[in-house]
Amino acid sequence: MDQLFLLSGILIIGIGFAVGLNPLFVVAVAALATGLAGGMHPLTIVGALGKAFVDSRYIAIIWLVLPVIGVLERAGLRERAHTLIASIASATAGRILLLYLVLRQITAALGLLTLGGHAQMVRPLIAPMAEAAADSRLGKLPERLVFMVRAYAAATDNVGAFFGEDIFIAVGSILLIKAVMQQAGYMVEPLQLAFWAIPTAVMAFVIHGTRVLLLDRKLKRELAREKREVQP
C-alpha cells in the first residue's frame, strides 16, 4: 500500500493539468507529495528541487531568446528584413530559402545548431525575406500563399538542421546511434557514423533544394489559378 502512495505525484499532475492550474505549482506539489510519501524530510525535498534547478539551469537559457526576439520584432525587425529583400531585384523566395538551407546545413554540420531555428531565424528574418521576394516578383500574395511560403521556410530549417547535425560527431543523435549499435553488439565509432551521414545530407540538400527552387514557379501558378477563379 505504501508503494501506491509513491505514485500520488502522477495523480496530482494529472488532476492539476486537467483543471488548468499553473504547471510549475502542480509539479512542485507533486514532487513534495511524492517525497513525503517516500519518507523524505520537507527540507530535503526542497533542497533536491533547488539542486535539480541549479544543475539544469542552462536549459532555461533558451527561453531568454523569446523576449529578445519579441523586442526586435516590435522595433521593426521583420519590416526591415522585408524592405531589404524587396530592394534586391534578383532575390526570389526560392533562392533565399536555398541560401538558408546551405547555411543551415553547414553550420549544423559544424555543431552550431543555435545559429538557426524557428524562433530566432525563421519567424523574424527568413520568412519575411522570402515573403518580400515573392511580393516584389509576383505582387501581393494572398494569405494562403503567404502561409505556404512560411511553411517552406520552416521546412527548410528542419531539413537543414536534421540532416546536417548528424555530420557533427558530438551531437546527441550520433551518440544515441552509437549506444544502440553497441548494445546490439556492433562497435562503431562516432566518426564513422558522421562520415556515413554525409550521403544522406547531400541527398536531403538536393531534394529539398530542388523543392525550394521550384517554389517560385509554384507560387506563380497558384496565383494565376486564384485570379482565374476570381474572374466571373
Range of the domain at 12: 2-55
Same domain, 166 and 219: yes
Confidence (pLDDT) at 223: 85
Per mean pLDDT, which range of 26-40, 103-117, 129-143 is the poorest? 26-40
Confidence (pLDDT) at 55: 63
Same domain, 50 and 133: no
Same domain, 75 and 27: no
Average pLDDT, the chain: 82
Q: What tens digit of pLDDT does each residue of 156-172 get?
A: 999 999 999 888 877 77
Confidence (pLDDT) at 167: 87
Bigger pLDDT: 180 vs 207: 207
Same domain, 34 and 144: no
Residue 202: is its pLDDT beyond 90?
yes
pLDDT mean over 22-31: 82
Residue 60: is its pLDDT beyond 60?
no
Residue 178: is its pLDDT beyond 90?
no
Residue 125: is its pLDDT beyond 90?
no
The confidence band for 30, taking pLDDT boundaries of 50, 70 and 90, is confident
Same domain, 173 and 81: yes
Confidence (pLDDT) at 117: 86
Confidence (pLDDT) at 90: 82
83 in Cβ contact with 132 (< 8 Å): yes
Same domain, 47 and 143: no
Domain final position from 37, 55, 73: 55
Domain final position from 55, 72, 90: 55
pLDDT mean over 59-87: 70
pTM here?
A: 0.67
Same domain, 9 and 101: no
Same domain, 45 and 67: no
The confidence band for 94, taking pLDDT boundaries of 50, 70 and 90, is very high
Q: Give the per-residue SS3 of the chain.
A: CHHHHCCHHHHHHHHHHHCCCCHHHHHHHHHHHHHHHCCCCHHHHHHHHHHHHHHCHHHHHHHHHHHHHHHHHHCCHHHHHHHHHHCCCCCCHHHHHHHHHHHHHHHHHCCCHHHCCHHHHHHHHHHHHHHHHHHHHHCCCCHHHHHHHHHHHHHHHHHHHHHHHCCCCCCHHHHHHHHHHHHCCCCCCHHHHHHHHHHHHHHHHHHHHHHHHCHHHHHHHHHHHHHHHHCC
The count of structural domains within the chain is 2
